[in-house]
């Protein structure tokens, strides 16, 4: 397996700019202005996304820049973990970059909470994120938990049990939903929001698992990762590679499909647990949260309809299905807010 690979086109906007914004950037160079930083995070949030734009008109207008800042943080974090290549050298590089990124995060929070002359951020993501942290009173823990999970990705590439996989999702996925709740004014330290947080966690874990079942082949061959828990499936990486080379062999397809079915069923149960979440939220946030949950369930349905054979074919939502979901979310927005942005 190669030890390096070039960044994907989608990641070029992030790690492709490490020469300007990374740990080895010229310390004497002027940092981006607030306007330049905001343009950077907006471009990331409105750029490539396979199913739905993060900054659709469903997001309340006064929250769009905050959504963009949080998304850009997640996007950079993910790319630093995944887009350096494959192999030990690449993983060591990712760990080095993630440590640098965590240090930048700490400085960002120190600046956001400081009433003195704390060092101002120099990275465009943290320039905009500092304002969001201050404006929306965001806590640091979800941001750090994401980095914990991305560091784990460099050390752990196989999972033995379902519970181990769920524990990983609690760090890699659930913090994103919690940040969305916090952006919407639902404080994470308020016991009154415990049920909302539980439903959000279920939805985000289900979305993460759906991505795993959709990307079995890519994770295996591009990142040497297997998220299908061995004790549940009895499938290891060598077996999966062997099966992948035999797309028309029933002795490969049938065992894989049988292994996938209970995984998708468990994932569906998590989506069901999270379905009441949108109705528990402020009306302005309800449509966008509904859309991402419904979109994830639609991808899961696509996986099930193709028999779970994602080792050979990656499912995608048809354009007509995406359009229908967006229309339904737009109607929900009109009913709940009278069509206001």
pLDDT value at residue 338: 52
Look at residues 235, 241, 233 and name the one whose alpha carbon lies nearest to residue 217.
241
- pLDDT over 50 (residue 341): no
pTM for this model (two decimals): 0.90
3-state secondary structure at position 187: coil
CA distance 158 to 10: 26
**CATH 1.20.1440.130 applies to domain 1-155:** no
Query: What's the confidence (pLDDT) of residue 115?
Result: 61
The whole-number average pLDDT for the span 224-233 is: 96
pLDDT greater at residue 316 or residue 107: 107
So what's the pLDDT on residue 329?
73
Closest CA to 212 of 157, 288, 251: 157
What is the tens place of the pLDDT at every residue in 65-98? Answer: 999 999 999 999 999 998 887 788 999 999 999 9
Backbone angles phi, psi at 226, to 5 degrees: -130, 115
CA trace torsion 172, 146, 196, 299 (10° rounding):
-30
Looking at per-residue confidence, does 249 or 45 come out higher? 249
Average pLDDT of the chain to the nearest whole number? 89
**CA distances to 55, 301, 332 from 232, in Å:** 37, 21, 39
pLDDT digits (tens, 9 = 90+) for 241-276: 999 999 999 999 999 999 999 999 999 999 999 999
Of 132, 124, 80, nearest in space to 101 by CA: 80
Domain 156-341 has CATH 1.10.600.10: yes
Q: How many CA atoms lie within 13 A of 91 on its CB side?
A: 16
Question: Is residue 144 predicted with pLDDT exceeding 90?
Answer: yes
Closest by CA position to 316, among listed 330, 299, 300, 333: 299
How far is residue 78's CA from residue 8's CA, in Å, rounded to a whole number? 13
For residues 123 and 104, give the distance between their C-alpha atoms in angstroms, rounded to a whole number: 8
Comparing 1-155 with 156-341, is the CATH topology the same?
yes
Copy the structure tokens of residue 289: 């949260």
Question: How far apart are alpha carbons 7 and 87 in whole angstroms?
Answer: 15
Rounded percentage of the chain residues whose pLDDT exceeds 70? 90
Which pLDDT belongs to residue 340? 43
Contact 267, 210 (CB under 8 A): yes
Neighbours of 327 (CB within 10 A): 10
Residue extents of the structural domains in the chain: 1-155, 156-341
322 or 218, which is more confident?
A: 218
């Amino acid at each position: 397996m190669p030890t390096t690979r070039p960044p994907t086109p989608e990641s070029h906007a992030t790690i492709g700019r490490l020469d300007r914004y990374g740990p080895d950037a010229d310390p004497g160079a002027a940092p981006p202005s607030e306007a330049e930083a905001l343009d950077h995070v907006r471009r990331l949030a409105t750029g490539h996304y396979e199913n739905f734009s993060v900054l659709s008109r469903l997001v309340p207008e006064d929250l769009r820049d905050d959504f963009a800042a949080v998304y850009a943080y997640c996007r950079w974090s993910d790319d630093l973990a995944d887009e350096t290549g494959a192999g030990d050298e690449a993983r060591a590089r990712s760990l080095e970059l993630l440590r640098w990124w965590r240090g930048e995060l700490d400085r960002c929070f120190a600046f956001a909470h400081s009433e003195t002359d704390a060092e101002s951020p120099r990275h465009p993501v943290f320039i905009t994120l500092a304002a969001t942290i201050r404006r929306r009173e965001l806590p640091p823990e979800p941001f750090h938990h994401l980095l914990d999970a991305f560091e784990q990705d460099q050390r752990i590439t196989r999972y033995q049990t379902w519970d181990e996989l769920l524990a990983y999702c609690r760090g890699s996925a659930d913090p994103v939903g919690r940040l969305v709740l916090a952006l919407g004014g639902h404080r994470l330290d308020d016991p009154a929001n415990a049920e909302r947080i539980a439903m959000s966690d279920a939805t985000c874990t289900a979305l993460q698992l759906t991505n795993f079942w959709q990307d079995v082949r890519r994770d295996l061959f591009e990142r040497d990762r297997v998220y299908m828990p061995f004790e549940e499936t009895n499938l290891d990486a060598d077996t999966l590679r062997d099966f992948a080379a035999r797309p028309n062999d029933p002795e490969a397809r049938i065992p894989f499909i049988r292994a996938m079915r209970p995984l998708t069923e468990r994932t569906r149960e998590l989506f069901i647990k999270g379905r009441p979440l949108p109705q528990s939220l402020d009306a302005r946030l309800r449509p966008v949260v509904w859309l991402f949950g419904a979109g994830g369930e639609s991808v899961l349905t696509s996986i099930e309809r193709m028999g779970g054979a994602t080792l050979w074919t990656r499912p995608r939502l048809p354009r007509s299905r995406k359009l229908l979901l967006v229309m339904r979310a737009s109607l929900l927005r009109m009913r709940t807010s009278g069509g206001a942005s």
